[in-house]
Amino acid sequence: MTMEKTPHKSKKPADHRIKKSNRQITSVTWAFVLLMLGMTGYICYYSFANKQEMTNNVYNGMQNILMAQNTRGAILARDGEVLAETQTADDGQEVRIYPYGNLFSHVVGFDTKGRSGIEASANYYLIQSNALLSQKAENAAAGRKNPGDSVTTTLQVDIQDVASHALGVYKGAIIVTVPATGEILAMVSKPDFSPSEIPLIWDDLIEDEDSSVLLNRATQGLYPPGSTFKIITSLEYLRQNDLDVSGYRFNCPGYYVSGEERINCYHGSAHGQVDFNVSFAKSCNSSFANIGLSLEREGFAGSLGQLLFNQELPLAMNYNQSRLSLTEDMPEAAMMQVTIGQGKTQITPAHLNMITCAVANNGVLMVPYVVDSVKDINGNVIKQFEPEAYGELMSEEEAQILGQLMENVVESGTATRLRDSSYTAAGKTGSAEFGTVKGESHAWFTGYAPADDPQICVTIIIEGAGAGGDYAVPIAKRIFDAYLN
């Protein structure tokens, strides 16, 4: 853009004035041109950066337009098994079918009475159709809808099946992931429901305020971490002792007293003379209370933030943030509770799984994901999701030492039920006390296998079952066996 200039140069003062005021015109012109171009850039950026979110907004009529044009796409398992699909009857009536019934209820979700699970998070893709123009033309001529794009997940039907059956009638959750990529192989939450029956049971579920059937316990369930939290306490102890724990000794009489507060070991068993390794393997509460009181709190609080406590998780589905309170001035009694994973601390199985995955993956957390790719009706890949690193939760060295501690849990600690396998596993059990009744506890296990080349990471919680070593570890073994053998 060039300004036209008065063609004839002249030395008359009037012309001089004009030229001077042309500068003002030019600067004002440029100011507006830049303002308008800036606005144009903003409009393009805003509309494309927020496109998915805006399409999914219930106030946006676009969804209805797309749903009138396209049949909702299918949700597929890793190997192509159909987890959800829409079938159209001859009269045009559409039904959403879930061939596996209750098996994938929470993770795949439902599509009536609102949406949940993948039905919600991948809705944007499921209602689009990238069919060929010729196919669309053919459908238009026949008065048919266009086939929606399908979503292939990372879920593996056999693992989901084993996990679900292993949990049986217990309430609880299981999440199975691949530490090196973040792929979610299975996600079970019980009690479950049948997605296609949602319209029938909806009113009852809503009326019953105590019902937590719709809650995805794997990502939304908040539980006291119990002894699984000792992974985190150990990490902090390593950090504050230059990664050297060889000098640690403690004599466990079965309890630890500080002031008025008394911490008991599980079932009051006295562990005797223990070093750090044994404290962890045997899950000695007294020893960890002792360790916890030696920790410098400000550094501990910083590490907890780094491990995503009280923070948003890199998780593209509904979840709850884990809760933990650790302050400089909190009494020793509360501090001891924190270090053994009791008290007010609450964590979701998905979060604990992320921390375990980071240990298995040399300290690096991969963002967990369940949608692998989007394909059109002809099988062309519209969008491929790649593994993505979230960041380093701990150093490689720290992860290695923690991994060794967790291996010893299987070798000679509370998870020996995993010992006689074709692979070496690593993990940590937990028996988290809850409520007021003494002795009732949630059974936890979080771990991975094989220990030297982690391929699968499992986190299990069984509500009110008892000791983690007795109830959660056998389930982990069944899942490891199914995946690795």
Partner 1 sequence: MLAAQVYFEELAKYFITVCMALYTYECFAVFRFREEKRRNGIYVRQNILMFLIHVTCYFYIFLETGEVGQLFFAAFQQIILYAAIVLFGMLYPRGNRLILNNMCLLLGIGFVILTRISYDKAIRQFIIATGSLIIFLLLPYLIRKLRFLKSLTWVYALAGIAALTAVLILGQDVNGSKLSFTVAGVTFQPSEAVKILFVFFVASALYHSASFFQVFTTAVVAAVHVMILVVSRDLGSALIFFVVYVLMVYLATGNGLYVLAGAAGGSGAAVLAYQVFRHVQVRILAWQDPWSVIDSSGYQITQSLFAISNGGLFGLGLYKGNPLSIPFVEADFIFSAVAEELGIFFAVCLILICLSCFTMFMNIASGLKEKFYRLIAFGLGITYIFQIFLTIGGGTKFIPLTGVTLPLISYGGSSVLTTMIMFSVIEGLYIIRQDEEARKQLRKKRYLKRIKKISVPEPDISPEPATD
Return residues touching partner 1 (CB under 8 A).
Answer: 1-8, 14, 18, 20-22, 24-26, 28-29, 32-33, 35-37, 39-40, 42-44, 46-48, 50-51, 54-55, 57, 59-62, 65, 133, 136-138, 140-141, 143
**Minimum distance from CB of 94 to partner 1 (Å)?**
20
Q: What is the 3-state secondary structure (H, E, C) of 398-448?
A: HHHHHHHHHHHHHHHCCCHHHCCCCCCCEEEEEEEECCCCCCCEEEEEEEE
User: Among residues 127 and 335, whose Cβ is nearest to partner 1?
Assistant: 127
**Minimum distance from CB of 11 to partner 1 (Å)?**
15
User: Among residues 29 and 88, whose Cβ is nearest to partner 1?
Assistant: 29
User: Among residues 66 and 166, whose Cβ is nearest to partner 1?
Assistant: 66
275: left (phi over 0), alpha (psi -120 to 50) or beta: beta
**Minimum distance from CB of 124 to partner 1 (Å)?**
12
Spatial separation of the C-alpha atoms in residues 340 and 334, rounded to whole Å:
10
Helix (H, G, I), strand (E, B) or coil at 357: helix
**Minimum distance from CB of 126 to partner 1 (Å)?**
17
**Minimum distance from CB of 119 to partner 1 (Å)?**
21
Q: How buried is residue 129: exposed, middle or buried, by Cβ count under 10 Å (0-12/13-18/19+)?
A: buried
User: Among residues 5 and 11, whose Cβ is nearest to partner 1?
Assistant: 5
Spatial separation of the C-alpha atoms in residues 47 and 226, rounded to whole Å:
46
Spatial separation of the C-alpha atoms in residues 69 and 85, rounded to whole Å:
16
**Minimum distance from CB of 71 to partner 1 (Å)?**
17
**Minimum distance from CB of 74 to partner 1 (Å)?**
24
Letter string b/e over residues 70-82, b meaning 16 or more CB atoms within 10 A of that residue's CB = bbbbbbbbbeeee
Cβ atoms of 432 and 466 closer than 8 Å: no
- For residue 150, the Cα-to-chain-centroid distance in whole angstroms is 22
**Minimum distance from CB of 202 to partner 1 (Å)?**
24
Give the amino acid at 145: K
For the record, the structure tokens of 184 come out as: 């979610």
User: Among residues 59 and 435, whose Cβ is nearest to partner 1?
Assistant: 59
**Minimum distance from CB of 382 to partner 1 (Å)?**
14
Terminal CA-CA length for the chain: 70
Residue with tokens 């669309």: 136
User: Among residues 29 and 310, whose Cβ is nearest to partner 1?
Assistant: 29
User: Among residues 55 and 258, whose Cβ is nearest to partner 1?
Assistant: 55
User: Among residues 3 and 293, whose Cβ is nearest to partner 1?
Assistant: 3
Residue with tokens 């337009």: 65
User: Among residues 47 and 311, whose Cβ is nearest to partner 1?
Assistant: 47
Cα within 13 Å of Cα(466), Cβ side: 5
